[in-house]
Structure 1
Amino acid sequence: MPDIHVSAAVIVDDRGRALVVRKRGTTRFMQPGGKPEAGESAARTLIRELHEELALRVDEADLTPLGTFVSAAANEPDHRVVADAFALRAQAEDVVVQAELAELRWLERGDWTSVPLAPLSSEHLLPIAWA
C-alpha cells in the first residue's frame, strides 16, 4: 500500500476545542497540514501549510512534536497516510479558511460524531488533542 507523507497540526484553543478542516471536493474533516515540498522538514512543511490554508503564522518554537502516526488515507483509496504531528495553541479569531479549504470546525472535547472524520483524526490525533 503506497504511503502519503504529511505534516499535521493538532490545534487546540483556550476553550479546549480542537480544530479540524475540510478540503474542497471532500467530505471528511481532518487536522490541517499537508505534503512536504522538496527539501522541507516536517516542521517547515507544517508552518508553510498553516500559513497557506489558515493564514496562521507560527514559528518552529510554537510546535510541540507528537510523533509519527499511520492510518488509512481519507481521500486516496488504497493508500495510507504517514503523518508527522505537532501540537500548538491558536484561537478561533486567528484562523481564516483559504487555499484549498472549504470549511473549518472547532470540535468540543469528545465531539466525535458531529462531522465525518478522517481515520488519522479519529484514531490518533483527536485523542491526543484531548489527552
Structure 2
Amino acid sequence: MSPSIIRIAAAVLIDKHGQTLLVRKRGTLAFMQPGGKIDAGEQPVEALARELREELNLHIDPAQAVYLGQFSGPAANEPGFTVQADMFQLHIDVAVTPAAEIEEIRWIDPMGDGGLPLAPLSRDQILPLYRASLIGA
C-alpha cells in the first residue's frame, strides 16, 4: 500500500430523528464522520468499535454495524494524502460526548451540511450516499 494512503474505519451514526453525527478533531476546521485509523492486524469493524469508544465514549456491538463499502478521497487534515475509508452505518439512541482528540460534535440533518465546513470525503461521497438512501426509502 502506498505510504500516502491513510486507512480508516468510520461510521454514519444515525439518531432516532434521522440526524447524523459529525466530529471535528482538535486543531482542525473540517467536520467528518467519526472513526479513525486501522491498526496493523485489526479488522475495520474492530477499529471502528475502538475509535468510537476512544473518541465518543460510545460502546457499539460490531455485529450491528452495516458495511457500506470502501470510499477514497483527499485527506482533510493531511495535505497530499488520500483517505481510504471502510464505512459502516449504525443507528444509536445513546448520548455521545467528545473525548480524546475530538473537540466538537454536531448532529446535522443529512439533507444539508449543517452550515459546517466538511471534509471532502464526507461532503462529496458519504453524506450524498446517506441522502440517496433516504430519498430511495
TM-score by length of 1: 0.94
Q: Percent identity?
A: 46
- Of residues 7, 10, 13, the one that matches 1:8 is 10
Partner of 1:51: 53
Partner of 2:77: 75
Note if contact 2:68-2:88 (Cα within 8 Å) is conserved in structure 1. yes
**Cα deviation, residue 94, structure 1:** 2.1
Partner of 2:102: 101
Matching of residue 64 in structure 1 with residue 66 in structure 2: yes
Distance 1:104 1:129 in 2: 18
Note if contact 1:69-1:82 (Cα within 8 Å) is conserved in structure 2. yes
**Structure 1: runs of 5+ lacking an equivalent:** none
- Of residues 31, 37, 48, the one that matches 1:29 is 31
Give the number of the structure with larger relative contact order, counting CA–CA contacts within 8 Å between residues 6 or more apart. 1
**Structure 2: runs of 5+ lacking an equivalent:** none
C-alpha root-mean-square deviation of aligned residues, in Å?
A: 1.3
Runs of 4+ in 1 over 6 A off after TM superposition: none
